[in-house]
Amino acid sequence: MTKSLSNKLFIKKQLYSLRMKEGTSILHLNIFNRILSDLLALEIKLEEDKALLLLSSLPSSYDHLATTIMYGKENLELEDARQMLQNNELMKKTDSTEASGLFVKDQRGRSKSRGPKRDPEASSSFSCYFCKKPGHIKKKLTRRC
């Protein structure tokens, strides 16, 4: 890239207009870092504003985190903001995977999933292998249905 005024203005405009879409992951940091490296190549320095620009580019769902990052410290460093955003993303992923795998054992030691309940009308579409009545399934005939 040449160090022309138009290139400098174009990259600055990209930085100032950068917005992360709601529901997108923190891969947004990669785009932000690429723009910063382009600015560095053009010899444009934004030492104090980098962290503020990153936090300003986040959607409203990150407002609580951005407030914590901005007002929780004496100095606002870009690396601290990046680290807290990445930690927050990791915690979100960990919470969602743990919540999806809950199992409870009953009195006989069998695992039961604590997931969504089955639709009772859907279970009536099953019928017994022996008596052919809907609503229950009996694979082995140990006693009469």
Among 91-100, 101-110, 136-145, the least confident range? 101-110
Model pTM above 0.75? no
Range of the domain at 139: 118-145
Q: What contacts 39, CB < 8 A, 6 or more positions away?
A: 11, 12, 15, 45, 46
pLDDT digits (tens, 9 = 90+) for 107-141: 665 555 555 555 555 555 667 767 777 777 766 66
Q: Do 38 and 93 lie in a common domain?
A: yes
Q: Do 87 and 123 lie in a common domain?
A: no
Asked if residue 23 belongs to a domain, the reply is: yes
pLDDT digits (tens, 9 = 90+) for 65-84: 888 888 877 888 889 889 98
Q: What contacts 44, CB < 8 A, 6 or more positions away?
A: 8, 11, 12
Q: Do 138 and 90 lie in a common domain?
A: no
Q: Do 30 and 75 lie in a common domain?
A: yes
Asked if residue 17 belongs to a domain, the reply is: yes
Given a cut of 70, whether residue 97 has pLDDT beyond it is no
Asked if residue 144 belongs to a domain, the reply is: yes
Q: Do 60 and 131 lie in a common domain?
A: no
Looking at the 3D structure of the chain, how many domains does it have? 2
